[in-house]
Amino acid sequence: MNNQKIKKINTKKIEKAIEMIIEAIGENKKREGLLETPKRVAKMYEELFSGYSVDISRIFKVFTEDKHDEMIIVKDIPFYSICEHHFLPMYGYANVAYIPNNNKITGLSKLARIVDAISKRLQQQERITTQIAEEIMKYLQPKGVMVILKAEHLCMTMRGVKKPGTMAVTSCMKGIFLKDQRTRNEALHLLK
Catalytic positions are 83-86, 125, 153, 155
Q: State the distance between the two ends of the chain, measured CA to CA, in whole angstroms.
A: 30
DSSP code of 6?
A: P
Burial 76-110 (b: 16+ CB within 10 A, else e): ebebebbbeeeeebbebebbbbbbbeeebbbeeeb
Q: Which residues pair with 104 in a beta bridge?
A: 64
Nearest to 177 by CA among 166, 185, 169, 168: 185
